Amino acid sequence: MFEDILITIATAATPLLIAAVGEVVVERSGVLNLGVEGMMVMGAVTGFGVALTTGSPWLGVVAAIIVGMLFSLLFGFLTLTLVTNQVATGLALTLLGLGLSGMLGEGFVGLPGIKMSYLHIPYLTDVPYIGRLFFGQDPLFYVSILLTAGVAWFLFRSRAGLTLRSIGDNHTSAHALGIKVIGIRYLAVMFGGACAGLAGAYLSLIYTPQWIENMTAGRGWIALALVVFASWRPWRVLAGAYLFGAVSIGQLHAQALGVGVPSQLLSSLPYLATVVVLVLISRNRRLTMVNTPASLGRPFVPDR
């Protein structure tokens, strides 16, 4: 029973972790993309549709990543090339994704999906209490952990990561040193889009193998909050994602046990927790200012 709870927490946390880690890279470059929700839901409908059509969940994953990147390129073109407002453009991207996914997925509603298989390693998966938790998860669970480790190494242990962070801290100085600010930001935005698309595919191929309109249910916004909660550090994102995953699963178990609290209040707990965390973080202005990329959300035009 306890192992089952831990597995469901990991399943609930994985899409949040993937999307948030991608957004860490985006925001570390100085770009604020509020379109994570839109890219996630487009990844979900694309992944489901392609997997259903081809019979391969892996092709669905690849298609979701590509769609996430295409949406991020649209955001990048508008904000980095045309220098539109990043906040307004991100919100518009979310609205576009929600509307377009509803239209594309209309024919998929009610159809059974193709669920990605879980790993099974002989002997190891069968170990009592911890076997399925560590050696019997879905493949994307392990991808999320490797992704977190890879991004942490990239940002704080590599020269390219230092360059990316320097752009996020002061894009004017970085440009003066000959760094291609716009090009690197495009790559960061595309990486974030790929992660958002992958997180969406996780929802429709593993978490709930079916298509439901607006099935992301605000997870993109929670991922954005996780980035701030984690002070733009990948390993803290992992801890935060599992904390929010535990809250999400906890309220489901509370409802199943018949706890004398309205179900609507229990269902809102993950979002209430998000608000509480952001309020607590905002109280420590010094910590927030130290960790926030100084150029976050600020437009950059090389010839100015």
CB 173 within 8 A of CB 157: no
Closest by Cα among 218, 153, 217, 224 to 195: 224
| pLDDT at residue 234 greater than cutoff 80 | yes
- The pTM score is 0.93
Q: Is 132 exposed, middle or buried (0-12, 13-18, 19+ CB in 10 A)?
A: buried
pLDDT, tens digit (0-9, with 9 covering 90-100), for 182-193? 999 999 999 999
Work out the mean pLDDT of the chain and round it to a whole number.
89
Burial per residue of 256-294, b for 16 or more beta-carbon CB atoms within 10 angstroms, e otherwise: eeeeeeeeeebeebbbebbeebeeebeeeeeeeeeebbe
Element (H, E) at 27: helix 2-28
So where are the chain's domains? 2-109+130-291
Q: Interior CA angle at 49 toward 44 and 53, to 5°? A: 150
Do 113 and 48 contact (CB within 8 A), yes or no? yes
Q: Please report the pLDDT score of residue 124 as a whole number.
A: 79
Measured over the CA atoms of residue 193, residue 292, residue 98 and residue 78, the dihedral's sign is negative
Stated length of the chain: 304
pLDDT digits (tens, 9 = 90+) for 49-96: 999 999 999 999 999 999 999 999 999 999 999 999 999 999 999 999
CATH topology of domain 2-109+130-291: ABC transporter involved in vitamin B12 uptake, BtuC (1.10.3470)
Q: Could you tell me the sign of the dihedral formed by the alpha carbons of 46, 47, 52, 55, in that order?
A: positive
The one-letter code for the residue type at 36 is V
